[in-house]
Amino acid sequence: MRIPMTEYLEIDLETERWRCRRCAHDLGPARGNYKEGTLVYNRDPTEIHRPLIDPGRYEFTFAPDPAWCRILEFYCPGCGTQIEAEYLPPGHPPTYDMQIDVDALKAQWAARPPGTVIPLGRDVTTEPLRVSGSNQ
C-alpha cells in the first residue's frame, strides 16, 4: 500500500521506500531522508528575489545575499517534478524535514478497512493510491 505523505511524496509500506507520486520513482528508504534520492539545484537566491533597487548604487537591495543564503530545490530524477525547496546558509546540508515512524504507519494502516482513500487536492490524481501490490 502506498501512503501519500505530501503532494509529491508517498511511502510504499511493503518495500518501505519513498516514491514520487507523479512517476513512482524510488527516492530511497522510508526510514531515511527522501532528499538523498532527489536531484538538487543549488540556486543563487538573487535569481528568485531580484534586487528592488540598483545594486550598482546600493549595498543593500532587498535581495538575499548569496554569501549568506542559498535556495536548494529538490527534483524527482524520474519526472523532474519539484518536490521541495528550502532556504539555507551556503554549505549547510539539506534538512531532515520528515522522519516517519514507519512501524506506526504500518500499524495505523493495517487497522483501516481495505480500499481506504485519503482525500486529495484537486491537482493530484488518485491513481497512485491503488491498493494492489503493483509498483506502477
User: Would you tell me which residues interact with Zn ion (CB under 5 A)?
Assistant: 20, 22-23, 25, 76, 78-79
How much of the chain is helix, strand and coil, in % rounded to 5?
A: 15, 25, 60
Nearest to Zn ion of 63, 72 (CB atom): 72
> What CA–CA distances, in Å, run from 19 to 11, 30, 59, 66, 71?
6, 9, 44, 32, 23
CB of 7: closest distance to Zn ion in angstroms? 12
Nearest to Zn ion of 26, 51 (CB atom): 26
CB of 22: closest distance to Zn ion in angstroms? 4
CB of 34: closest distance to Zn ion in angstroms? 12
CB of 81: closest distance to Zn ion in angstroms? 5
Nearest to Zn ion of 25, 49 (CB atom): 25
The amino acid present at 12, given as its one-letter code, is D
Nearest to Zn ion of 26, 86 (CB atom): 26
- What are the b/e assignments for 35-58, b being 16+ CB within 10 Å? bebbeeeeeebbeeeeeeeeeeee
